[in-house]
Structure 1
Amino acid sequence: MQIDITTPALLFPAITLLLLAFTNRFVALATLARGLRQRYKETPGMEAPVLGQIKNLKTRLLLIRNMQALGIASFFCCVLSMVLMYLSKQVVADYIFGASLFLLLGSLVLSFVETQISTKALNLELSDLETITSKKKRS
């Protein structure tokens, strides 16, 4: 397969949008982590649920950091591939571009895993609210 210098450039908008989405996830999680920390300090007796949520957030933050790292590496490889094509190093450029695709794929896989963990966390939070609501109704 023969690719030209414009082929890696086609990934630029996709990668930048993904990085923006990953950054937004990170900011939202950082805000949530700060809120949980405050709730942990202010609410005695709620240690177990809050500590579980904090553990979940730490896992998700690690995944998001790795998603961002793979996305940045993919972007770097796209640019490097274009530079190599400009320097008439087509074979090396093709391999580097292939690497960028695999890095992007890895980033997307981690994004999927993080989304699954996020969904489980929300379900736990909602079930906790359902339990509290049902206890209040019984009283």
Structure 2
Amino acid sequence: MKPPTPKPIRQVVTVFLEHQGKILLVRRSQRVGSYQGRWSGISGYLEDPTPLAQALREIQEETGLKGADVTLLKSGPPLSVDDPDSPVLWKVHPFLFLVEHPETIRLNWENTRLCWVALSALSDYSTVPALAQVYPL
């Protein structure tokens, strides 16, 4: 018997935006390629030369916030997330940014709703796989 073929690896960034001790969750639209309707951080495939550059790009694309509107607080080591329902192995590069003016956030087509939650409340939401484990502590 042949061993199973390993899943291809897809590198992504996940950005947590923090304001007054809470983090931003966004609800993924039906128009995105994966995990429609699930809550997540700001995320996207790694296409830019560095994960940090991609994180800043995703923040601007998905929220309208520019680099000057956010402050990097922390980045975590890449984490492998193996979702049994996905044909790929996710390698997630996590980031935590502070946002001072959340009222200026404007969601694009990738997400339909937003909410600010305590990290301890993540389990109350139907999130993308391993979202709490990806958080850069």
Same fold, judged at TM 0.5 (above): no
Higher CA-based Rg = 1
The TM-score by the shorter chain falls in which range? under 0.3
TM-score by length of 1: 0.20
TM-score by length of 2: 0.20
Q: Which of structures 1 and 2 has the larger relative contact order (alpha carbons within 8 angstroms, sep 6+)?
A: 2
